[in-house]
Structure 1
């Protein structure tokens, strides 16, 4: 059996130094919800439209010259795809991305525009991990997972370091959108004083269910459709689950209607464009599911189809 991965705050601090020139320090926006003072961490304003560039840059910066020459393979519904593609282009590394055929066209186009080769698959009948592994084996490339990798988690955790630096202290809690849990896990490492709450769409709340059960519970068969494509992960990883469990994190789910309301609120109140998956944490606060006082809400991405966004905010 493989030894458990040891990952701590120092890894996040090292990642912040490593990727300082690769990512933007995104805004921390003060907000008010029914008299509760909170802050919005606008990762929707990050290069590539989401936090994913952080982890991708940290992972690719640690490739050896020989590994970089053989290229990388990643699998993603879109945001990690774009993060890897942008980081790879900057570093002169060939990137192949395995993407679901039903991913938003905006994300597929953005990934292709960043110079990556795209391989499409059916997310309900094919395994993206198996496809990526076969491609990597064939080409001698390095697989760059979207969340099940210590370097990815450490890179995502730099969001947490920025929150503390911008606020001048750790907040009482940080509410984080969760697919595989890489962002929430990294923030949990970076901000040990803060309560961590993961937010997921209804029917896809496997991290919250896993944390409540004390063991990994995959998404049930035939999950409901959701516009939160960035969070459609069928099973979380041991790495992310173990750290969030040990930190005492909890999970909350929100409906599609509550997500839409959060997208509208972010636009109307603060002029922020947030995609459905990036709005689930805000939806938790707007729905009153957790105490909003002294909370930071991570808006994890803003890559939303223009027509869908217009219908939602209109």
Structure 2
């Protein structure tokens, strides 16, 4: 009986164990299914995020392209507007109040000038019947900012009538490559004037230094694609001259120093060229005096050598004269004496024969 009960218990425990195993397996499968579902959901979410990101990028790129296109269109529109504005302004000048009479040669300049006159336009105010000249000029000197500009304009009508106009542009604060002058209109009283000569009187920089040049009459430097290239080329030219002049004035002979002074005079406004010129002039004077003293000493030495040579030649001549005199005396003495003896011998011989 007891053995039967044990068998039943064992059977029950076995059944219970099987049930637990089945339940556990079911739970494990359930968990696996849930994990798979979670993984699928995560992958789906990630896929959605990737799609969203791609869509956002595409949208951003599309927006950027649109913005770029719009910006380009705006720039083109602005250019068209500027072009139309210029055309309109030109049309207004031609058909409206102001009429363009003449245009000056482009890029007027003189060697060393820190200012380049790029454009010049002569207009006639058809309301007031007054001619006016506008000049657009650019600072091409990188080292300094221009404060004031003083010029003289000669307006010639070709019939001997020349009008002189003094004009100044003040307190400009004109930086390197900045252009000025568009707003300034210079009245030309000579209505028939069509030829204009412009001379720069002086350029004053913001630091108070001044650029001047004798007869600084402007001439056309020709057409230019880039003003900055021209400006840089001139600056290099000034620097090369500065170095060359400085090397020459450091030499000891007056010829080199004088040459250096002339080189530096062409760029007297550049760096400390004025100070170098002043110092070089003093050095030049000293060099000239030393060379004059040396030359005088050499002349005295040469003169002494000439005197010695002259005295030597005089002595030689004197000796030669003495020798010649002695020779003459000898000849004069011996020849007659020999003749006398010969004659005496001849007489003796004759006397002997007679006896």
TM-score (norm 1): 0.20
The structure, 1 or 2, with the larger RCO (C-alpha pairs under 8 Å, 6+ apart) is 1
Structure in which a larger fraction of residues adopt helix: 2
| Structure whose CA Rg is larger | 2
TM-score (norm 2): 0.19
